[in-house]
């Protein structure tokens, strides 16, 4: 079986707007992240000098999120990755209708997780995993790059899988 690039997605997130969205009372944005994503972002923020219980708690509904909060930056990069995954998957399905209506997409089923050395990849679960498998094929591979600098976070995703045919 031949494999190759099936789709590419990129997304950039304005950290100020993202922080404001996280700070909104009752925001659904906090539910867009899995427990693993929240834990890995918190650990990464703490390893970069964030004070546990201070800056890190603000970004997940305990108070106003701050633009300079390391946890906000890490979550924003993962939000960009979720958007980039959907764009790469959509590119792989060019000409076909989306298999999941956008309003029914469960964002937490698209996880950006890191290995022990901090290298990110995408892990899919639930309906999203089933739909990706049925539309792109078994064994889809996600190549992910995350970055944040200044007032932005960005993600670049390449979807590799069985050649369309």
Print pLDDT tens along the chain (165 aa): 667 999 999 999 999 999 999 988 888 888 999 999 999 999 998 887 765 444 344 445 444 456 668 899 999 999 999 999 999 999 999 999 988 888 889 999 999 999 999 999 999 999 999 999 999 998 899 999 999 999 999 999 999 988 765
The residue among 87, 50, 49 whose CA lies nearest residue 65 is 50
pLDDT of residue 1: 62
pLDDT of residue 58: 43
Q: How far apart are CA 72 and CA 78, in angstroms?
A: 10
- pTM for the whole thing? 0.87
CATH of the domain at 43: 3.90.470.20
The total domain count for the chain is: 1
CA of 159: how far to CAs of 8, 32, 45, 74, in Å?
A: 6, 21, 28, 22
pLDDT of residue 57: 40
Domain enclosing residue 91, as ranges: 3-162
As a whole number of Å, the CA-based R_g of the chain is 16
Q: How far apart are CA 161 and CA 164, in angstroms?
A: 9
pLDDT of residue 156: 98
pLDDT of residue 20: 92
Q: Is residue 9 helix, strand or coil?
A: strand
């Amino acid at each position: 079986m031949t494999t190759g690039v099936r789709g590419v997605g990129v997304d950039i997130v304005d950290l100020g707007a993202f922080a404001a969205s996280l700070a909104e009372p009752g925001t659904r944005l906090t539910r867009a992240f899995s427990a693993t994503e929240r834990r890995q972002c918190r650990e990464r923020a703490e390893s970069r000098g964030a004070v546990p219980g201070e800056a890190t708690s603000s970004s997940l509904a305990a108070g106003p999120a701050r633009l300079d909060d390391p946890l906000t930056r890490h979550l924003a990069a993962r939000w960009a990755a979720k958007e980039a995954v959907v764009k790469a998957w959509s590119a792989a399905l060019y000409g076909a209708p989306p298999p999941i209506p956008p309003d029914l997409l469960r964002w937490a089923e698209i996880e950006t997780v890191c290995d022990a050395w901090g290298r990110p990849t995408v892990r899919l679960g639930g309906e999203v995993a089933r739909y990706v498998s049925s539309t792109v094929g078994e064994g889809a591979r996600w190549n992910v790059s995350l970055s944040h600098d200044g007032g932005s976070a960005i993600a670049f995703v390449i979807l590799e899988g069985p050649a369309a045919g």
